[in-house]
Chain A
Amino acid sequence: MSLVHVGPVATTALLMLLSASSAAAPVSATLNYTCVFPLIEEQPLSVDITSEMPDSLAVGQPSGSFQIDGTATVSAESWNGLDFVGSDTLSGQVDAHASVTGNGLSLPLVIPMEIAAQPMPDEQGAFSIVASGETPSLTFTSDNQGAVEIRVGNLVLNLTPRDDNANPTGLGDFQSECVPVTGGETLLHTITVSGDDAGSTTFGVTGDAVLKGKANWPLVGELAVETSGSSVSGSMGLETSALSLDIPGLFKTFSLDAQATLEPLSSVSGELIDGELVLSLQARIRLADIRLKLFGVPIAVYNGEQCVSSQAMSLSAVTPSGQHFDVTTGGQVTGEYSVPAFENCGVMTGLVNLYLAGAGSSLSLQLAPL
């Protein structure tokens, strides 16, 4: 499925995060064509097209591909011509010519559709053939804001009738061109492209923090963001997880373990420009079940709930250089920060501050859309 980028600014447009407003609604139209067939010349062909398309899309929001289903009613005279040459089954392919037009936009499209093999009816009469295909995904730019019309025009049928023995008939594989009886294209659907709509999406967060370069702290949670233009805002929630640090001694190794929680003190804010996501968050770290162990045996314990970093710390995370963040696929962010001193950690306060507080901490998070 190829993504059709409409206009040159599609890259920035893609930064828009939207899912809520792209809800698709049923679309249907009946199109009347005149097709030219070998031998029998002009014949009427009526096509009922159904699809699901959104009524509105935000600038930069990929539409996703639309499944298009067409049921064509072929004339009785066409049946006669096909039957006379011995056709027993009919299959083929349709190129549906369409256009997407709006402000600053005139995009011709060819939508390939397949006609699955189906038996010709036994009795002379109009009959139906079914074709289906997919449109490419469309992404509109701020220049395209307003009504964007999707119209369907000519059809080119590539038909492969086969006889009782699955051989080609005397007509072979042939093309039939179908032109709307109105002479022009027929409006299938109108999409309103808006630059003002906010979008929201939720990312799964996985990664880890390393405090003072040594203490490992796996992080798992969710980041929910709203977007408007290039600005990003939202909230992040992370699960409490085990922080651990090995402390080399002269002859033995101690370990410091705690259940650590990153507690947000602000909403997440930031921006996303040219594939670079910058997120900022004020937060503090709360530690519980702090254990200093020697050979795995606790030798000092803090069981309270009050051990937190004393001041709000500023966390900032950015898409690493050379990488591209895309709301539809997510990406990585990394940052460095300083951890303020902890307090209220009982007998462990000194030890905790010695090993966990201060400059030189880092963070690496992978954001994946949920």
Chain B
Amino acid sequence: MKRRNRNLIRLPDIMTGLVATISFGLLSLASASHADDSFYQPPSPFPAGLPGDIVSWREAKAGPPRARELAHAWQVMYLSTDGLGNPDVVTGTVLVPKGHDPATLPVIGMAPGTAGPAFRCAPSRMIDKGAFYEQPAINDMLERGYAVAVTDYVGYHPEPETTYIIGKSMGAALLDVVRAAQRLPESGLSSSSAVMLRGYSQGGGATLWAGEMHSAYAPELDLRGLAAGGVPANLAQVALPLNGQAGFGVLLYALLGQDNLYPELSLTPYLNAQGQQAVTEMVSDMCVLELLQDFQGVSLADVTDVNPLTGPRLQRIAENELGKGTQSVPVYQYHEEQDGLVAFSQARDLKNLYCSKGVNVQWQPVDTQGSSGVVRHINLAYRGNSGVNVFIDEVLQGQTPLSNCDGG
């Protein structure tokens, strides 16, 4: 066994991490990825239109060389709806595999896992420069001849305000990026294309939120199935185990994400000086790796003077619980059995809830044998792909997946 004696970086070390990450930015960009950030600036006011309408678009790179061989890609800004029901604009990426008649292609709406609070973390930016950590999932879809529409979620602009882990915001952003892909003239995709949604971790939550919202929000989409892994279904049950643990950065980011949507919430009055510094640095330059590394072992008590988990916030946390609605299409749900970031039990509870509502659920617990709970969660971001691929292939071929609600 390899020795892992990397010191946990606690709060006083945050500055060290920050200096390291800032120094990356001084390196010259590796290739002709987009350096112009103005694309991400939301227009003011928002243009009139319907959710999923294209606001603007530009050609982009589909990822590293293999992806560029496989597909054409565009960055899109499209109309959507925020978690309070108000109009919003969201950015994303549309990828269409080469060598096919696009009008015949299914569209896979892909909901990324946690990218991070800083502007540079936006999935569309990562895809364009070849640094998107879920690129293998995109390539799997492209190689099968499926178009892919990847949402960035709400709030990635030069002054980022990401509404991290807000269910309705994520669900709308995902459904609307599929509409945007269908409506982007350059894509050639059809508005009647078969649609599947997939995502892991935050993306697993977004996928199931989109599924619960589908019939009311985007009933015209020919949704066939949902593949969701590492699903954060009950945010309270996900967040509490992270306090003082390796995943605290994700917890702090989730609180920040709520602030960015809900006007009655603000973390600022609760934060101590260290906490304020941490939040400032998060938004300025931290992506998921820094979130997971720079806050290991930190607890709310380290960054706040007063407990921020008050009534209004707990109310919003409760609002963002999956399973209040139901799913009308087959669901493939998978989870690491010893997941150290998104608790296994609350995902299994959601599966059971869906099953009790008659949803066709294929439930797949996985043991990746990872060296820690966090690594186990990360492992399944990639190793869950094979099961997702099979599920998507089967559903798109017209097969009805066998639910294992009875046996699970």
Contact = CB atoms under 8 A, between A and B. Distances in A.
Nearest to B370: A86
A164 B1 CA distance: 7
A211 to B, nearest CB: 67
Among B131, B288, B289, B369, chain A packs the most CB atoms within 10 A around the CB of: B131
A167 B383 contact: yes
A197 interface: no
Contacts of A86: 370-372, 375, 378-379
Given A77-B24, A177-B30, A177-B65, A37 B131 contact: yes
Contacts of A168: 379, 382-383
A276 B111 CA distance: 67
Contacts of A352: none
A37 B288 CA distance: 14
Contact of B64 (A84, A122, A123, A156): A156
Contacts of B289: 39-40, 81, 84
Interface stretch (B132-140, B305-313, B350-358, B394-402): B132-140
A226 interface: no
Nearest to A44: B27
Contacts of B129: 36, 41-42
B144 interface: no
B130 A77 contact: no
Contacts of B135: 38, 174-175
Interface string A10-23: 00000000000000
A167 B30 contact: no
Contacts of A37: 131
B29 interface: yes
Contacts of A323: none
A119 B1 CA distance: 11
B192 interface: no
A163 B24 contact: no
Interface residues of B, number: 45
B131 A170 contact: no
Contacts of B81: none
Interface string B1-18: 111111000000000000
B20 interface: yes
A122 B3 contact: yes
B44 interface: no
A38 B132 contact: yes
A171 interface: yes
Given A81-B289, A86-B370, A42 B29 contact: yes
B323 to A, nearest CB: 27
Contact of B375 (A38, A85, A177): A85
Contact of B66 (A36, A120, A175): A175
B86 interface: no
Nearest to A97: B65
B24 A85 contact: no
B379 A169 contact: yes
A38 B27 contact: no
Contacts of A247: none
Contact of A176 (B3, B29, B64, B368): B64
B2 A88 contact: yes
Interface string B275-310: 000000000000111001100000000000000000
B317 interface: no
Interface string A112-139: 0000000110111000000000000000
B28 A171 contact: no
A83 interface: yes
A239 interface: no
Contacts of A173: 136
Given A34-B27, A39-B131, A178-B30, 10 more contacts: A39-B288, A83-B4, A119-B2, A124-B6, A168-B383, A169-B378, A170-B378, A170-B379, A176-B130, A177-B130
9 contacts: A38-B133, A42-B29, A85-B379, A86-B375, A86-B379, A163-B370, A171-B382, A172-B382, A175-B66
Q: Which 9 A-B pairs have the closest CB atoms?
A: A170-B378, A175-B64, A172-B382, A172-B136, A38-B133, A86-B375, A36-B130, A170-B381, A41-B131
